Amino acid sequence: MKTRLFIVTIISLLVATNVLAQTRTDLTGMYSPEKGSGDPHGFVNLLVSPEHTYGIVFFGGAVVGTWKELDEYLILEPDTTYNDDFYMYALYNDVQKNISIQFDGFGDEDALYSFDDDAVMHPVFNENPNCFNYPYTKSVKKGAYKEIHLAIKADKSYGQKDASIEALVYTFALDAGYNDFKIVLNELKQEKMYPMLGVSKGNKLIIEHKAFAKRSSWDEISDDDKHGIRMLTSHIGKPIEGRPFGEMVDEMWIETFYPVVPYIRKEYKMVRSDTNNLFDAECKDR
């Protein structure tokens, strides 16, 4: 009797495991918003891989993370390793005399900066910037400054004289061993990433009231797309080591890897700001 019960239990477990595996296979693949979803990014693909990773890939970026099943639900948990407001990357360029500081991704946030012991912080861009160029770079003399401070304004006090606000201020060293700095404002952090709940309905996933239709199974996805999502998700949970930055050289786009430079402090403090912005990004009437 015990032997029979043991066999029945094993068969039940095998059936349950097979059903679960089939469910997971059915969920993997490529999805895109149904027509009329109103998604602001335009071109969007959601790729759900058998390795329990996913990527929401849109024009100009991607959000990646891990997924798991709970009954008919799909829980998408974004990777939050990349969770600081600012990141700095740096190299030494032996043909460059001055210090170059490039500001990337600052267009959509009211960001402030200052050097060393400057008591007042200044906007990186003018109020309501538009018509951007690339890159935005400030050149300073070697040894002129030892530190740069960065913050995001929590309110819309732009235009107020001597506006005092509490802000999380990041301080980075302008290390003499480098002369080519890239500062990136982490736009993904500003999106306030949080786990999302999807509901599986046939060949559709309903995620936060948006319908994603399945366009292809995982087996039907091209090798290039599979390679791309695996590259994007290979860094989940791992510390950031650096990133590539590109520039046009002789009509060719050349990318160079820049190692990350950790901040030396981040602290909440009261800061004063003025309206003396570093860069102007404003459409000119023709």
pLDDT digits (tens, 9 = 90+) for 142-159: 999 999 999 998 655 444
Q: pTM value? A: 0.69
Poorest-confidence range of 22-31, 174-183, 264-273? 22-31
Q: pLDDT at residue 180 above 90?
A: yes
- DSSP for 210-221? EEEEEEEEGGGS
Q: Which residue(s) pair with 73 in the sheet?
A: 70, 199
Tell me if residue 27 falls in helix, strand or coil.
Answer: helix
pLDDT at position 26: 75
Mean residue pLDDT of the chain comes to 82
pLDDT at position 2: 40
Query: Tokens in use for 63?
Result: 């959000």
pLDDT: is 231 or 125 the higher one? Answer: 125
Find out whether 89 and 242 touch, Cβ atoms under 8 Å.
yes
Q: pLDDT at residue 192 above 80?
A: no
Q: What is the DSSP secondary structure assignment for residue 237, as one 8-state letter? A: T
248 vs 96: CA distance, rounded Å = 17
3-state DSSP percent of the chain in helix, strand and coil, to 5? 15, 45, 40
pLDDT tens-digit readout, 45-72: 899 999 999 998 876 567 889 999 987 7
pLDDT bin (cut points 50, 70, 90) of residue 191 is low
Residue with tokens 């770079």: 137
Please, what's the largest Cα pairwise distance for the chain?
A: 90
Find out whether 90 and 261 touch, Cβ atoms under 8 Å.
yes
